[in-house]
Amino acid sequence: MPGLETIPELQFRVETMGWGAQFLIPWLVSVEMTGREVYAADGIIGPLFLVFAPFGWFVVRRRPMLLKFLGFVTLGYFVVAWFIGGVRLRYYLPMLPFCAILAARGWRFFLRVKGIRLLAIVVGGGLIAYNFVVSTTYLRQADPWPFLLGVQDREDYLLQHLPDYRYMKFMNERLPPDATVMLIHSNRGYYLDRDYRYDAKFGGYTLKRILRESRSAAEMTRHFRELGISHLYIDLRGLQIDLGADPLGKDREKMLILQRFLFRELEILLQDGRAMIAALPPKEEKRHGTAG
C-alpha cells in the first residue's frame, strides 16, 4: 500500500549517509554496508561481482552482442535503482544474474593471460571463499533449518526471528476485521491481516503533520478519523528518535498535546518498551432531542 506521505529516496539517503557515500554504493553493498546503523542494506553482496564484472564487459575486445546487452541492462538497472530505490539488496536481485555472467567472463579473461593466471586463481578463489563465509554467516543468523525440516512451525519461527511479528499477531487476533491501522515509524505490515496505512521510510510524517495542525488531543483524533484510521501501531523508539531530531520535539505545548493524545485520548490495547497498539476513541454520536 502506498505511504501517505513520502520524501525523495535520494534526498533521504543524502540526509542519512551524506553525498560522498552515494558514489560509493557499489563498494558499500559489496563489502561494507553491514553494521551501518543509519541505513543498513540487509547484508552485502560480496566483492566477487565488483572485482570481475566490469572486466567482463570492458576488457574483452570482441564482446558478443549479448554481453553488451547484459552490460547495458545491468548498468541501467543500477542507475535507476540508485535514483529511486532504497539501498536494499532485494532491490538489486534482478541484476545479479547478469553480474554473475559478466563476472565469470571477466575472471575467464584473467585466467587466459599468461603470467597472472596463478594470481587470478588465488584472487578468484579467495573471493568465492569470502562469499561462502558471508553466506553461511547469514544462514546461521536466519537459522531456517528447524522450520524447513518441520521441527518448528511457521508462527514459532516468525516469533523467534521477527521482533515485530508478535505485534502483528496481536492485532490479527484482537482487532475487528474492519479495522484500519496506521503504522507509525514502521511499514512492516506484510503479516498484518487488516487494512493499514503507513508513512514511507519508517517516518512519522503523518503524525507530526497532524500534531502541528492540532490544538488538542481531540483534534488529533479527528484528523486520524478523517483519514479513515481506527487504530494506531507506534514504534515508540522510532518516535522518540524522530522527535528528538525534529524542532517539533522541543515545542513543549505540542509535546503536552501528544502526551495527552497517547495516554489519555487513546485506548491502549498493548504497550511495552518497544511499541504501542491503541484504538482511537469511538465516534461521538449526535443526539437528537425532541421538544416536549
Confidence of residue 8 (pLDDT cuts 50, 70, 90): very low
pTM over 0.85: no
Question: Is residue 287 included in any domain, yes or no?
Answer: no
Question: Is residue 164 included in any domain, yes or no?
Answer: yes
- What is d(CA 112, CA 84) in angstroms, rounded to the nearest whole number? 39
C-alpha cell of residue 67:
554481453
Instruction: Give residue-wise pLDDT tens across range 9-20.
Output: 555 555 556 666
CA distances from 291 to 278, 285, 287, 288 (A): 39, 19, 13, 10
The more confident residue out of 145 and 204 is: 145
Looking at residue 281, the DSSP 8-state letter turns out to be: P
Looking at residue 62, its pLDDT comes to: 60
Looking at residue 4, its pLDDT comes to: 38
Looking at residue 174, its pLDDT comes to: 95
> Do 283 and 225 contact (CB within 8 A), yes or no?
yes
Question: Is residue 285 included in any domain, yes or no?
Answer: no
Instruction: Give residue-wise pLDDT tens across range 118-142.
Output: 999 999 999 899 888 888 887 888 8
Residues 52 and 164 in one domain: no
Residues 138 and 162 in one domain: no
Those residues with Cβ within 8 angstroms of residue 56's Cβ, 6 or more apart along the chain or in another chain: 67, 71, 101, 102, 103, 104, 105, 106, 107, 109
The more confident residue out of 58 and 186 is: 186
- What is d(CA 3, CA 5) in angstroms, rounded to the nearest whole number? 5
Residues 164 and 274 in one domain: yes
Instruction: Give residue-wise pLDDT tens across range 204-263.
Output: 888 999 999 999 999 999 999 999 999 999 999 888 888 887 788 888 999 999 999 999
Instruction: Give residue-wise pLDDT tens across range 24-65.
Output: 777 777 776 544 433 455 667 778 888 888 887 776 556 667
Over residues 173-200, the mean pLDDT reads 90
Helix (H, G, I), strand (E, B) or coil at 44: coil
Residues 131 and 183 in one domain: no
The more confident residue out of 183 and 135 is: 183
Looking at residue 27, its pLDDT comes to: 72
Domain stop point among 107, 142, 177 = 142
- Report the candidate in 205, 211, 235, 239 with the shortest Cα–Cα distance to residue 223: 211
Question: Is residue 288 included in any domain, yes or no?
Answer: no
Question: Is residue 290 included in any domain, yes or no?
Answer: no
Element (H, E) at 183: strand 180-184
Instruction: Give residue-wise pLDDT tens across range 149-160.
Output: 989 999 999 998
Which residue range is the domain that position 17 belongs to? Answer: 9-142
Residues 218 and 108 in one domain: no
Instruction: Give residue-wise pLDDT tens across range 65-109.
Output: 777 777 777 777 777 766 665 666 777 778 888 888 888 888 988
Residues 119 and 165 in one domain: no
Residues 60 and 175 in one domain: no
Asked if the model's pLDDT at residue 292 lies above 70, the reply is no
